[in-house]
Structure 1
Amino acid sequence: TPIASNWCRSEAEQVSEGGWAQEQALSSIRTVYSFVGEKRTLDNYSAALDDLVKLGVKQGLAKGFSIGSNGASFTIWSFLSWYATRLVIALGTALPNLKYFSEAFVATRRISEMIERVPNIDCDDNRGEVMEKVYGEKGSGLYYVDSEGGRLKGMCFSVGSGSTYAYGILDSGYRWDMPVEEAGELARRAIYHATFRDAASRGVAS
């Protein structure tokens, strides 16, 4: 830099002045000794060196500041590297959880569409014909108490839309060795609960 160049030039000049004073004193040592000029010569040499010392102090401070600035820059770079590493690790930990947010967003959008959808069928519309009884192509649902044709062969019953519930009662309560009276009571209980299970049967057993 220009400042360093000026310092180097000044240092060279101060060294030259000190060297010139020393050279003059040594070359004319007899004259100096004869006129008792040792102290004066020493003062001249010391004055030349004082300026050189001040210049050296300035150069030392400049070099120390430069080296310290480099150390500060290295410290900052080290901190940035450490912090960037922490950010990368945190980002890598957080990225797998983003899929849950995206899934929740998609689910929320679908739920909102379902809530805002206007159905084609109006459940509050009372128009139309209410059918008393509904039968399939082969008549009402027919269930045998003993499907294997054992002691209760030919005993059957039919109910309305609660037939599935009645079949569950028969399936859980029937035993192959149960007497006829108990089987009949089981069938009556199944029919009774099935007719009141579903309002579509209107509580009527067929």
Structure 2
Amino acid sequence: MSALIPRPRRTVADGAVLVPDWLDVDRQRGIVDACREWARGPVPMRAARLPTGHAMSVQTVCLGWHWQPYRYSRVADDAGGGRVLPVPEWLAELGKRAVADAYDDPAAGAAYEPDAALINFYDDAARMGMHRDQEERCGAPVVSLSIGDTCTFRFGNAETRGKPYTDVGLHSGDLFVFGGPSRFAYHGVPKVFPGTADPGCGLTSGRLNITLRVTGLG
């Protein structure tokens, strides 16, 4: 549900742009339906294990390339050995439009060619620690789409996991794009707020985050 008082778009840092309410409810619901299909396989949604052996609290399924801490592969050897599904054309096109809209730059959108998507599901207790998306061999922007419960998104700097950082509320339907000087900034999700989603989005609880990336892996 869109806010009664519209939230303005916001430049959080150089190259990092928030576009509130970018996805309407119908589009959110369609993406949720697609995510449910992807989560069934051939590579099922799972909690990735860190090198320490601890399972992440976030559940993840991947398209295009399979991500596990901290590398990409075509085959999900940590989740049954299946080959990941490709990034569908409609999702790649959505990524192109996202970059064009966030940066007000149609040429940047046209040049954007995402070849990987990570779909993360957060339940009420899930968190994501401060980290950098740095397994890619390309500096193209990351496109982040939020559906479901509101979260606090902590967006920091490229040097340290600590301050300075900015806490941003990401609501269902919001778009966040980070590239340029902010491409390798640390970021995380310290809190999800249960019961804050519009039921029309297709989720009764929890939060979906879809991130599109250009891996540069060929």
Is the helix fraction higher in 1 or 2? 1
Greater relative contact order, per chain length (Cα 8 Å cut-off, separation 6+) = 2
Is the strand fraction higher in 1 or 2? 2
User: Which TM bucket (shorter chain)?
Assistant: under 0.3
TM-score (norm 1): 0.18
